[in-house]
Amino acid sequence: MKAIRRFTVRPALPERLAALEHLAGNLRWAWHGPTQELFAEVAPDAWREFQHDPISLFGQISQERIDELASDDDFVHRANALREDLSRYLSEPRWYQGLEGDKPDLIAYFSPEFGIAAALPQYSGGLGILAGDHLKSASDLGVPLVAVGLFYRSGYFSQALSPDGWQQETYPVLDPDGLPLRVLRQPDGSPVIVTLSLPDDQVLSARIWLGRVGRVTLLLLDSDIPENSEELCHVTDRLYGGSEEHRLHQELLLGIGGVRAISAWAERSEVRPPRVFHTNEGHAGFLGIERIGDLIRGGLSFTEALQVVRAGTVFTTHTPVPAGIDRFDSALIRRYFETELLPGVSVDDVLALGREPGAGPDGAFNMAVMGLRLGQRANGVSQLHGDVSRRMFSALWPGFDIDDVPIGSVTNGVHPATWTAPQLTELATRNLGTADTANADWASTAVTDADLWSVRNRMRQELVWDARRRLKRAWLAQNPGGIAPDWIDTVLDPRVLTIGFARRVPTYKRLTLMLHDTERLRALLLHPERPVQIVIAGKSHPADIEGKRLIQKVVEFAKDPAVRERIVFLPNYDISMAQKLYPGTDVWLNNPLRPLEACGTSGMKAALNGVLNLSILDGWWNEFFDGDNGWAIPSAVTEDAEERDRREAESMYDLIEHQIAPRFYERDSDGVPVDWLRRIRHTLSTLSPQLSADRMVSQYVTTLYRPAFDSTSVLRHDGFREARRLAEWKSRVTDAWSGVSIAHVESGGLDVAPQVGDELHLRASVRLGPLTPDDVSVQVVYGRSTMNGDDLRDVQTADLAAADGAQASESGEWLFAGTVSLGHPGGFGYSVRVVPNNALLDNPAELGLIAVA
């Protein structure tokens, strides 16, 4: 008989071991090496078997082992010392506390998924891992975050392979009582419940699971409770599954329910609710409408409330293609927002926020468009992705050049303590006096080439052992009762150049590019002097049939007895596998279709361990490749997809055969690859600080969170006085803009042959209708002119000023004047534009209004 529910019964730990409960209750153990070492000592096999999960570990140890540990004075002393260390970590001032000036007391961070530890499988891929690393670095830096997500009872899915290599999904049900989470409760002990009114008099209810990620509070909403109907219990069943309406339920609960969950938690924690909200991708976008509703019920109009919410919202987009954006049928949105879901908020105002430019009233409701309209500050996740995003969403700001579209970039980072192998950390601690591998002096002679090579070899050996163990487990699951074949014990060779490729498997990431010429690949794998081996992992979305076919093709190729010891596909890619895979490889391969990789953080995690990257110049690699930290696969410029793949695959094979393998196998008399290690040192020294999530989070704080806090604080002051004034000003300027134009531009001050250092004098006559010069900026836009067109490069702007006391002419024209210094030889061009001007705007393009000469 099958159990209808499973849960873990943990032993009662004696008082002498109370520190273990304290340590397990905070997810800092997921990245704190000394705490992990202590847990591993409790039961090494169980620690490895349960994916480094202390809660499950405690459910497996015997009373005899508990008594043994309790009587071990040294173990008890170390556990107590680690508990004291955790207490200091949670309370001592850190980087954020040392920042001078005004800053947010609390910042809300919303994400549909969080990848914090393998034991808490609430992630599907890079977005969730990024969110988990964001929380970890925020904790390390002392940034006061409260994070909000959903608790998925079945997470994403567990992956297995059929005998013919087809991906098979299962959804193991998680027991939250067996995780480092607790229910947020009322003073009387009953659970806090948030509710959402739905059509047909339904009510969606959710309880709140509370976790601690170091100093960061994590709130996860769970709809699987008795208060809900059976259908609504399944709202949080699994990540990225179900129908369009099911996804809408999830996103309403995440956004609207998440804001309500924060309010409930803040009240019980006696802290002020946050004023700055960070929306990590569009899934949580409804949080902005919930906050608008709160302000409307407090007395503001919709447009006034919108200014306040926009000022305090940061929106991060992760998708480089329109197809990756969530869209909902407008009739479905109307049906849900015509209920009592958000009293006081007009459904037409909601629909207008998500309407795509140029679409009619029945057009699709676009979550990313809503996110950009609700967030005054927006960013992509690499410099290249920022440019792609500005192009993709430029229709929201018609008339502005692509570079003027108000979407910036903060390149993603990864959490070093999570992703750096313990062997490398031990080397840095022993030889360089620091466990901070991201900022250690890897150029120092205190670390010899022999030291570094020994560690790299040990990490590769760890990967080989782990891969064999996983392959054997997968074979036995596929063949119950059988005996695993001997060849699995010889899969991979710890002495061979190892290439890693692991990530989600959509078609644009081109998992099978390596198979483009299978004979060429065989020759690389089986080279008699310079062999190569490849370790591959990744999951395809359950509905992505083509992605599953790509996995099947790789598995079929790897079955060949001639190459099966040189190329392997490891099923069920997750955090625990990644922590062996990234450091254990020598080269990390990434070959997406440029520019479809928004960032691609897997290569970052590898680089933190001294792994060299082999990648298309896309995502983060486009801005960090320098010629010594790896290799760039040239992107073929052709409209023929087959020809493009052929060229790029050939380039990849050539790089491996003629540059990568020879350098790896070129050894000195001591068997050390000196040039290879030079590149490893260079990678560790130059990339590690830049790829750290600490850099990313600190950049969010200084360029986005603090400015958002300043903006919303101004608008909230004195009963929202400035918010009301800003809303009135925007309305007035928008209504009057059709009357704004540039009547005439004249220039002078230059000789017949202008020279560097000369000044160009400009005068512009501008019609403003009912507006005044205080409402606008008249700007000269200038730069290098191109040979074959009117487009400008290296563009700069300078304001033209209206004379003091100036008045409009009888024809209604205002005169603006200024000068531009000619700083560079060569082609020069300029134009003049008029844009709205208000100190409370973050960007002159914010209103999407412009008049050009």
DSSP notation for 122-159: E--SHHHHHHHHHHHHHHHHT--EEEEEE--TT-S-EE
What is the pLDDT at residue 747?
A: 83
If you search the block for the tokens 């490398």, which residue do you land on?
424
The dihedrals phi and psi of 147, each to the nearest 5 degrees, come to: -105, 145
What is the pLDDT at residue 753?
A: 73
Nearest alpha-carbon partner for 165 in 522, 474, 473, 589? 474
DSSP 402: G
Cα–Cα dist 733/726, whole Å: 10
- Cβ-proximal residues to 670 (8 Å cutoff; 6+ apart), any chain: 450
Helix (H, G, I), strand (E, B) or coil at 622: helix
The dihedrals phi and psi of 106, each to the nearest 5 degrees, come to: -155, 140
What is the pLDDT at residue 787?
A: 67
Cα–Cα dist 375/671, whole Å: 56
Cα–Cα dist 190/177, whole Å: 16
Cα–Cα dist 246/255, whole Å: 14
What is the pLDDT at residue 46?
A: 85
Rounded alpha-carbon distances, angstroms, from residue 820 to 211, 741, 783, 823, 826: 57, 22, 11, 9, 15
Does the N-terminal peptide bond of residue 191 adopt cis geometry, omega within 30 degrees of 0? no
For the four alpha carbons of 501, 504, 509 and 510, in that order, the dihedral sign comes to positive
Length, in residues, of the chain: 853
What is the pLDDT at residue 3?
A: 56
Beta strands in 317-382 (DSSP E): 327-328, 365-366, 377-380
What is the pLDDT at residue 757?
A: 79
What is the pLDDT at residue 317?
A: 97
Contact 705, 314 (CB under 8 A): yes
- Cβ-proximal residues to 632 (8 Å cutoff; 6+ apart), any chain: 615, 616, 617, 621, 625
What is the pLDDT at residue 438?
A: 95
Low-confidence residues in the chain, pLDDT < 70: 1-11, 749-752, 787-789
Pairs from 527-532 (Cβ < 8 Å, separation ≥ 24): 527/661, 529/665, 530/497, 530/661, 530/662, 530/664, 530/665, 531/493, 531/496, 531/497, 531/566, 532/496, 532/497, 532/498, 532/499, 532/566, 532/656, 532/661
Beta strands in 475-579 (DSSP E): 497-502, 532-537, 567-570
The alpha-helical segments, DSSP class H, found in 692-746 are 693-700, 706-736
Nearest alpha-carbon partner for 417 in 408, 425, 428, 409? 425
